[in-house]
Each structure stands twice: as structure tokens, then as C-alpha cells.
Copies of this chain bind each other. A is one copy, B any other.
Amino acid sequence: MAKTVRVYVTLKRGVLDPQGSAVGRALRTLGYGEVQGVRLGKYIELELADGESDAGGRKRLDEMCRRLLANTVIEDYRFDDAPAVKA
């Protein structure tokens, strides 16, 4: 049975987010003055075959994030397990 893990990759605090600022300006222009700030990031759903122990699985997920999914110089990442996906 496959397991879905959700990964969130966001810019580190202090890193400029020009895209986020542009979206914020656009929303305010559309009349949503309550928008004070916008930060954009990546949302990744990974479907993983079951098999690894939890600890082993988390270690490999950490590696996947560090090696490919996030640029750890400017980005932070976190992940959580979604409810199991019906095979």
C-alpha cells in the first residue's frame, strides 16, 4: 500500500521574495487591502511504497529534500505524512 508524504519548501526568513511581493501587490490592486504579505513556496506530494521503518523513511526523505527538492542555501523544508492512500 502506498503512503503519501507532503513536503513544504519555503524561502528562509530574510530571503527576498519578489514573486510573493508581486502577488501581494496584485491582490491589493484587485481590492484585497487586508493582504499584508505573501510568501510563495513549493508543495510536493510524494507517493512512496511502504517498506522503510518510520525512522529509516524519515532519514531518506530528509536526503531527498537536501539533495533535490529544496535548495537548502535559501530554502527551508518540512514534511508530514498524509493519511495512507488506498492502493
Q: Is the CB of B38 within 8 A of A44?
A: yes
Contact with B along A40-82 (1 / 0, CB 8 A): 1111111111011000000010011001110000000000000
Chain B residues within 8 Å of A39, by CB: 44-45
How many of these chains are in the complex?
A: 2
Extra contacts, 6 of them, besides A26-B68, A38-B47, A40-B42 (Cβ < 8 A), are A2-B37, A23-B68, A30-B68, A36-B48, A36-B49, A41-B43
Q: Interface of A with B (CB < 8 Å)?
A: 2, 8-10, 23, 26-27, 30, 32-49, 51-52, 60, 63-64, 67-69
A50: min CB distance to chain B, Å: 8
